[in-house]
Amino acid sequence: MNRTPRPTPCLLPTMALLLALLAACSQATEPKPLTDAGADTPDLQAADLPRDAGPDQGDGQPIDLLSPDLVDAGDSTASDTQDTTASDTDAAATPSAWGWISVIEWNDVCDQWYLKTQWFGGVRAHFAVEPSFNRALPHTLGFANVVAQEGNCRLYDSGIMTDTCLGQCLCLDKGVECYNEDQTERWCGQDEVCVDDPLTPPEHFDHGMCVPLPAHFDVGTVTLGGLKEDVPLARDEFDRYLGAPKNPNDLFDAGDPITASTSGGDLPPMSFTAHGVAHLVVPDQVVTVRKDQPSKIRWTPGDANSRVQVVLAAGSHDPNPLGGAIVCDAPDSDGQVEVAYSLLQRLYYFSCNGQWLQKCSRITRYSRDVKLMGGQETELFVGSARNLQILWE
C-alpha cells in the first residue's frame, strides 16, 4: 500500500542563510555572458526550446517484475541485467513503483542545504509511486522532458525557466519562498516540496505552498551483498533507507558481484545484481565552456564492463527545483564524452543565463541492474563518483 507522507515542522532560517540568499539575488541582476570577451550573449528564446517531448524512459534492459513476459525497454546502457525471473504477483493487485538502491563510492563532498545531495551518493534506497527531484538519483529525470540529443548526451528541461524569468531570482529559487502566512518560518518539511499555484506562470511566482512529495513505500528490509563491509540500511519515517558505511570511499573492488534485495512490505520482494566498478580517476574536474566549441570531460579508462555517466545540472541551491540538466552516457573505454555547444547554450538558458549554477554536477563510473515494477523503472546503481564544476569563459 502507499504510505501517506508525513510533513515535518519547518526550520527557522539562520541569519547566515538570509545573507547568502540576499547576496545570490543581488548578483543575479548582472548575468555573466556565455561568450568570449567582447561577444554578444546567446540569443535564446522560448521558441528555440521545445517542451513537447515526452519524459525519458531511461536506458537499460528492464525486466517487468509483474509481467509474465520479459520486457526490453531500452538499449544496452544498463551494464547488468541478470535476474530474468518474473514475479508471480498479480499485476492488478500491485501498485506501479519507481525507485532505486544506490551503492556509490562518493569521493567528493557536495553538501548543500537539506542534505539532499546525500541521495546522490553513498548507500541509500527509496521507492515511491513516481519520480521526484527531491528523491531521485542524478540520472532519474522522469519528471523532466528530453528536448534535445547530440551524440551521447541528452538535454532535459524541467519546464520552469521562461524568458520572463531572466534576471530574476524567484523562478529557480522557489524553495526559499515557502513562507508561512506571517513569514516567521520558511522551508518545507522533509517530505514536502515548495510549489506555486499551477495556474500561475513561473515568472509571477512570489509565495509558494508546501505540498507532499509522491507517496512512498516501505519495502521491508533492504539487504546488500558483496561489499567489503556489512552495511545495514535503516528506514526512516519517510521510507528513506540510509546506510552509514565506515569506509564510504572503499565499498567494493572492480568486478565484485554486488547484490541487493528487498523483503516485501508494500511491494513484492525484489532482487538485483550488478558489479563493483574501478575507482574513478578524472584529470580535471572543471568543465570549461567556450563559445562555439564542444566541451570534453575526460576520465582514465579502468573497467571495460562498466559505463561512465556525466550529469551537468542547472538551478539554485537544494532543495530548490532543477532548471535543466545534460546527461551524457558512454562506455568506460571511450575515456571521454563530448558535450555539444548547442546543448550547453540551452543549459545556460535554463540556469537563468548562468546566474543559477549551484546544483552539484558529477561524473560517475557505474554498473546497474534495471527492472520494471508495474511499468516503472527500479534499479540497483553501483558506482564511483566525483564532483564536476562548470566554468563559462
Query: For 295-353, how does the pLDDT look when each residue is reduced to its tens digit (9 = 90+)?
Result: 999 999 998 899 999 999 998 877 778 889 999 999 999 999 999 999 999 999 999 88
Q: Is there a domain that residue 2 lies in? A: no
Q: Is there a domain that residue 379 lies in? A: yes
The 10s digit of each residue's pLDDT in 179-190 is 666 666 667 778
Q: Is there a domain that residue 258 lies in? A: yes
Q: Is there a domain that residue 116 lies in? A: yes
> Cβ of 15: how many Cβ atoms within 10 Å?
7
Place of cell 516540496: 193
| Integer Cα distance of 201 and 324 in angstroms | 18
| Integer Cα distance of 200 and 9 in angstroms | 26
- Collapsing DSSP to helix, strand or coil, 331 comes out as strand
pTM: 0.76
Q: Is there a domain that residue 53 lies in? A: yes
Q: Is there a domain that residue 4 lies in? A: no
Q: Of 9-13, 199-203, 251-255, 316-320, which gets the smallest average pLDDT?
A: 9-13
Does the pLDDT value for residue 175 go beyond 50? yes
Does the pLDDT value for residue 145 go beyond 50? yes
- Collapsing DSSP to helix, strand or coil, 275 comes out as strand
**What are the distances in angstroms from CA 162 to CA 133, 157, 167, 201, 324?**
19, 11, 11, 9, 12
How many C-alpha atoms does 229 have within 13 Å on its Cβ side?
A: 14
Q: Which domain holds residue 249?
A: 48-162+213-392
What is the average per-residue pLDDT within 133-150? 91
Number of domains in the chain: 1
Q: Is there a domain that residue 180 lies in? A: no
Q: Is there a domain that residue 181 lies in? A: no
